[in-house]
């Protein structure tokens, strides 16, 4: 049940669908930049997200890729980030 | 093959009466996979998702759309073709109901087609027994409705292959035995034992609930448990204690704002519980969403006092609650559980003293010996009253020396905490205030865990269920007070995470400031995520997950699955 880090990038042809995908993605990861998210997910979550995305998009017009960066715990993903820092999602309780 | 003639319930079955719900055909599949799985799901209402179940639902979604028609058998004419999707049929005689993905055929015979995720397995019979049995059940139900049915079909979505399943006598007999077996366990109220060291368990979505290896180990002490139940829980609590905060659902996230300014968002999938302290505003749609997702919300006063919690419709496992109540009326069982809990608490208190002793001027040997004696004494008491006395004197010894675990004053950044003895309401000094606060957090953690496992947190064995106290949560937390709460307090003080300036004192009582509280909650949650080696099972597990495992083991004990409740102690 170990989690992996993913980069999810999408190209959605229709603005309405784009918004739905964006809203869904916010529930699964952190917005990185235009149409790109960073997610930290178990295999189960991964399967869930794919199922949900698949239900939204139009297979002939849209395109989504999910890239696996490897285990989220302990492994530092090899990412070059210019301009801003890339920080992998940590798992911590939220205390406000 | 040399088939052992085994006892069978004679067919035909008695008709199912209106009172008994029809069993889904999928349960026969589960039964064939593992009788315990069918029991957990059907009788106890347990459910957990795994990759397989999520992906299975996804792969099924297309066939779930109804389409085509299934004319009644006697209305079929020669030459009529049948192609009907997502048809639900039941049979009272079999006591089963099945949703069939696809039915094909004509007046001569129909074929149920069942969709399976994954690839066709390469084995002699073309498919595994649970899947063959499931499609056979569909065939039997179709026959009950007057159709002729000589074979079923399994369609494997990933490899796009069909496998024929002839409904021969052997398969029919196997299927009938499975149906009988399922009805028998459903009626019998006795949970079947777990499979032995089976390769099926790691794939089973209920493995964290069933605890197959742990139960086997506690029954027979033979096999070393595999760390199957340890899978890290990925969701974590969200605490809101800021003054005038507001929590609202936004899409798939919770948004927390203060004075209409967004300060934090939390993805709903990452939230295990919502903890609200003080005057926090939550919208109704948020409450609905949290209840629908089974995320509990606990409510506390601003000072941390636990006032209650909100949960959806609750757990379906009535059997467990019945067993919990039944045992609570049985004095010997109560005493036995209470003794074990108190002995484990004293053991763990002693370990904490031994490991964190900071005072070089005093040798703790006598103290540790005395505590050892208290611990042994627990086994010999024969009333709860007497046990209370033993616990009291052990606690006096323990708290009498608690300040020797706190780094001496004068050390950089760490100012001294004065602490002489435990006092509670209201706490009169910072250490007592921290301890009280930590116990509140731990009570909540147990309360929520017990509720999620299917217990009623208010009826216990050692604590009396009076004055609205969550007695079972208090019972279960006894051995964990030193390990989680006291330890978090010591760490927070010794690491300088909370300082004397974090306390506000008024009229003889002392309370944490909001900021200090925030840092202390973080220290407590870090302790909850700390991993320890389980002394019985040998694997490493976080305290967070351990609470759930212990709660499930208690349920296994109360339901007669294991001979005793194994308390958790550290070395
Ligand atoms: S974990 Fe193993 S024993 Fe337990 S229900 Fe699943 S398959 Fe059966």
Full 3-state SS string of chain A: CCCEEEEEEEECCCHHHHHHHHHHHHCCEEEEECCEEEEEECHHHHHHHHHHHHHHCCCCCCEEEEEEEEECCCCCCCCCCCCCCCCCCCCCCEEC
Total count of domains within chain A: 1
Q: Reply yes or no on whether the pLDDT at B83 is more than 80.
A: yes
B265: nearest CA in chain A? A94
Q: Reply yes or no on whether the pLDDT at B30 is more than 60.
A: yes
Position B304 in a domain:
yes
pLDDT category of residue B345 using cuts at 50, 70 and 90: very high
Q: How distant, in Å, are the alpha carbons of B214, B351, B352, B404, B554 from that of B356?
A: 31, 9, 6, 8, 30
CA–CA distance, B249 with B313 (Å, rounded to integer): 20
B493-513: pLDDT as tens digits: 888 888 887 888 777 778 888
Total count of domains within chain B: 3
Q: How distant, in Å, are the alpha carbons of B63, B217, B469 from that of A59?
A: 18, 50, 56
Mean pLDDT throughout A51-61? 86
Position B229 in a domain:
no
Q: Mutual orientation of helices B331-356 and B365-380 as an angle, nearest 10°? A: 170
CA–CA distance, B504 with A58 (Å, rounded to integer): 59
Omega before B110 within 30 of 0, i.e. cis: no
Position B16 in a domain:
no
CA–CA distance, B154 with B119 (Å, rounded to integer): 11
Nearest CA to ligand 1 atom 2: B201
Rounded to a whole number of angstroms, the distance from the CA of B400 to the nearest CA of chain A is 33
Ligand 1 atom closest to the CA of B194, numbered from 1: 3
The per-residue DSSP string of B173-216 comes to HHHHHHHHHHHHHHHH--PPPPPSS-TTGGG-TTHHHH-HHHHH
Position A26 in a domain:
yes
pLDDT at A79: 77
Cβ atoms of residues B502 and B514 within 8 Å: no
Q: Look up the CATH number of the domain holding residue A47.
A: 3.30.70.240
CA–CA distance, B205 with B52 (Å, rounded to integer): 8
pLDDT at B476: 96
Cβ atoms of residues A58 and A13 within 8 Å: yes
- B351 and B448 part of one domain: yes
Binding-site residue numbers of A for Mg(2+) are 11
Does the beta carbon of B207 lie inside 6 Å of ligand 1?
A: yes
pLDDT category of residue A37 using cuts at 50, 70 and 90: very high
- Which residue from B415, B414, B423, B476 is spatially nearest to B451, judged by alpha carbons? B476
Q: Is B548 annotated as a binding residue?
A: no
Mean pLDDT throughout A34-55? 88
Position B167 in a domain:
yes
Please judge whether B267 and A44 are an interchain contact, meaning their C-beta atoms are less than 8 angstroms apart.
no
Query: B310, B332, B356: which is the final residue of a domain?
Result: B310
- B416 and B484 part of one domain: yes
CB atoms near residue B452 (< 10 Å):
19
Please judge whether B268 and A44 are an interchain contact, meaning their C-beta atoms are less than 8 angstroms apart.
no
- B295 and B416 part of one domain: no
- B446 and B537 part of one domain: yes
Name the token pair of B361. 């001027």
Find the B204 Cα to ligand 1 centroid distance in Å. 6
- B441 and B340 part of one domain: yes
Q: Reply yes or no on whether the pLDDT at B59 is more than 80.
A: no
Mean pLDDT throughout B546-554? 94
CA–CA distance, B44 with B46 (Å, rounded to integer): 6
Rounded to a whole number of angstroms, the distance from the CA of A57 to the nearest CA of chain B is 14
Mean pLDDT throughout B180-194? 85
Q: Domain residues for A28?
A: 4-70
- B270 and B357 part of one domain: no
Query: B160, B194, B228: which is the final residue of a domain?
Result: B194
B35-49: pLDDT as tens digits: 999 999 888 888 777
Cβ atoms of residues B138 and B115 within 8 Å: no
pLDDT at B11: 46
Terminal-to-terminal C-alpha distance of chain A: 28
Question: Does residue B542 sit at the A interface (CB-CB below 8 Å)?
Answer: no
Position B543 in a domain:
yes
Between B15-29, B35-49, B536-550, the lowest mean confidence (pLDDT) is in B15-29
Residue B463 is given by DSSP the state: S
Position A83 in a domain:
no
The per-residue DSSP string of B375-408 comes to HHHHHH--SHHHHHHHHHHHHHHHHHTGGGGSPP
Position A59 in a domain:
yes
Choosing from B206, B214, B217 the residue with most ligand 1 atoms within 8 A of its CB, the one to mutate for a pocket test is B206
Position A90 in a domain:
no
pLDDT category of residue B19 using cuts at 50, 70 and 90: low
Point out which residues pair with A5 in neighbouring strands: A40, A70
Residue B73 is given by DSSP the state: G
Mean pLDDT throughout B325-330? 91
pLDDT at B293: 87
CA–CA distance, B320 with B555 (Å, rounded to integer): 7
Q: Domain residues for B109?
A: 23-194
* Count of CB pairs separated by less than 8 Å, A with B: 84
Position A76 in a domain:
no
Length of chain B counted residue by residue: 571
Average pLDDT, chain B: 85
pLDDT category of residue B232 using cuts at 50, 70 and 90: low
- Cβ neighbors of A21 (< 8 A, separation 6 or more) are A10, A12, A53, A56, A57, A64
B106-145: pLDDT as tens digits: 877 889 999 888 888 888 888 889 999 999 999 999 998 8
Ligand 1 atom closest to the CA of B205, numbered from 1: 6
Position B204 in a domain:
no
Considering CB atoms only, which of A1, A26, A96 is closest to B239? A96
pLDDT at B340: 93
Position A27 in a domain:
yes
A22: nearest CA in chain B? B251
Question: Does residue A61 sit at the B interface (CB-CB below 8 Å)?
Answer: no
Q: Reply yes or no on whether the pLDDT at B472 is more than 90.
A: yes
Cβ atoms of residues B107 and B145 within 8 Å: no
- B491 and B453 part of one domain: yes
- B272 and B364 part of one domain: no
A3: nearest CA in chain B? B234
- B172 and B81 part of one domain: yes
Mean pLDDT throughout B517-528? 92
Position B367 in a domain:
yes
Number of H helices, E strands in chain B: 18, 18
pLDDT at B339: 92
- B407 and B384 part of one domain: yes
A95: nearest CA in chain B? B239
Instruction: Please list every residue in chain A whose beta carbon sits closer than 8 Å to the beta carbon of residue B240.
Output: 96
- Kindly state the percentage of chain B with pLDDT values over 90: 29
Position A78 in a domain:
no
Position B231 in a domain:
no
CA–CA distance, A33 with A81 (Å, rounded to integer): 12
- B447 and B546 part of one domain: yes
Question: Does residue A71 sit at the B interface (CB-CB below 8 Å)?
Answer: no
Sign of CA dihedral B87, B205, A67, A6: positive
Q: In this predicted model, which residue has the larger pLDDT, A84 or B489?
A: B489
Find the B206 Cα to ligand 1 centroid distance in Å. 7
pLDDT category of residue B14 using cuts at 50, 70 and 90: low
3-class DSSP assignment, residue B525: helix
Point out which residues pair with B24 in neighbouring strands: B97
Does the beta carbon of B556 lie inside 6 Å of ligand 1?
A: no
Position A17 in a domain:
yes
- B177 and B59 part of one domain: yes
Between A82-96, B122-136, B166-180, B199-213, the lowest mean confidence (pLDDT) is in A82-96
Mean pLDDT throughout B454-478? 85
């Amino acid at each position: 049940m170990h989690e992996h880090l993913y980069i999810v990038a999408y190209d959605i042809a229709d603005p309405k669908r784009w918004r739905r995908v964006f809203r869904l993605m916010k529930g699964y990861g952190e917005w990185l930049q235009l149409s790109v998210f960073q997610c930290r997910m178990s295999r189960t979550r991964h399967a869930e997200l794919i199922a949900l995305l698949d239900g939204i998009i139009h297979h002939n017009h849209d395109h989504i890729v999910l890239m696996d960066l490897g285990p989220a715990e302990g492994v530092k993903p090899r990412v070059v980030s210019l301009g801003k820092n890339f920080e992998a999602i940590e798992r911590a309780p939220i205390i406000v | 093959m040399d088939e052992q003639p085994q006892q069978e319930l004679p067919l035909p079955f008695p008709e199912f009466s209106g009172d008994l719900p029809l069993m889904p055909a999928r349960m026969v599949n589960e039964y064939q996979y593992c009788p315990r799985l069918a029991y957990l799901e059907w009788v106890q209402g347990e459910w957990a998702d795994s990759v397989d179940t999520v992906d299975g639902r996804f792969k099924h979604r297309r066939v779930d759309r109804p389409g085509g028609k299934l004319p009644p058998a006697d209305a079929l004419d020669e030459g009529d073709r049948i192609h009907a999707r997502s048809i639900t049929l039941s049979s009272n005689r079999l006591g089963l109901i099945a949703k069939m993905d696809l039915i094909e055929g004509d007046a001569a015979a129909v074929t149920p087609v069942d969709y399976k995720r994954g690839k066709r397995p390469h084995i002699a019979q073309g498919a595994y027994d649970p899947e063959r049995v499931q499609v056979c059940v569909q065939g039997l139900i179709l026959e009950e409705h007057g159709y002729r049915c000589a074979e079923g079909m399994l369609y494997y979505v990933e490899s796009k292959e069909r496998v024929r399943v002839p409904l021969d006598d052997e398969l029919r007999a196997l299927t009938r035995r499975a149906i009988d077996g399922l009805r028998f366990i459903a009626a019998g109220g006795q949970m079947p034992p777990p499979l032995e060291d089976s390769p099926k368990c790691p794939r089973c979505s209920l493995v964290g609930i069933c605890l197959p290896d742990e139960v086997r180990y506690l029954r027979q002490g033979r096999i070393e448990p595999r760390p199957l139940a340890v899978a890290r829980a990925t969701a974590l609590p969200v605490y809101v204690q800021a003054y005038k905060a507001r929590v609202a659902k936004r899409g798939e996230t919770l948004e927390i704002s203060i004075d209409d300014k967004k300060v934090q968002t939390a993805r709903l999938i990452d939230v295990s519980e919502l903890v609200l302290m003080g005057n926090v505003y939550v919208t109704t749609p948020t409450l609905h969403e949290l209840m629908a997702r089974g995320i509990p919300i606990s409510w506390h006063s601003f000072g941390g006092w636990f006032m209650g919690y909100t949960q959806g419709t609750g757990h379906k496992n009535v059997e467990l609650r019945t067993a919990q109540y039944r045992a609570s009326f049985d004095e010997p069982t109560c005493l036995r559980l209470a003794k074990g809990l108190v002995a484990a608490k004293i053991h763990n208190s002693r370990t904490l003293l031994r490991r964190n002793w900071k005072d070089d001027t005093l040798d703790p040997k006598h103290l540790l010996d005395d505590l050892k004696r208290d611990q042994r004494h627990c086994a010999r008491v024969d009333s709860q009253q007497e046990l209370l006395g033993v616990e009291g004197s052990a606690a006096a010894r323990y708290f009498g020396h608690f300040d020797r675990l706190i780094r001496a004053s004068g050390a950089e950044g760490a100012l001294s905490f004065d602490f002489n003895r435990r006092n509670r309401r209201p706490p009169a000094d910072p250490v007592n205030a921290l301890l009280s606060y930590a116990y509140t957090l731990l009570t909540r953690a147990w309360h929520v865990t017990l509720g999620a496992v299917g217990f009623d947190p208010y009826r216990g064995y050692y604590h009396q269920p009076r004055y609205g106290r969550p007695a079972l949560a208090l019972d279960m937390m006894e051995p964990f007070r030193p390990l989680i709460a006291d330890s978090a307090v010591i760490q927070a003080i010794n690491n300088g995470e909370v300082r004397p300036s974090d306390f506000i004192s008024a009229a003889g009582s002392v309370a944490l400031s909001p900021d200090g509280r925030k840092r202390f909650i973080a220290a407590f949650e870090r302790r909850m995520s700390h991993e320890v080696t389980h002394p019985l099972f040998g694997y490493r597990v976080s305290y967070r997950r351990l609470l759930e495992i212990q709660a499930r083991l208690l349920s296994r004990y109360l339901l007669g699955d294991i001979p005793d409740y194994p308390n958790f102690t550290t070395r």
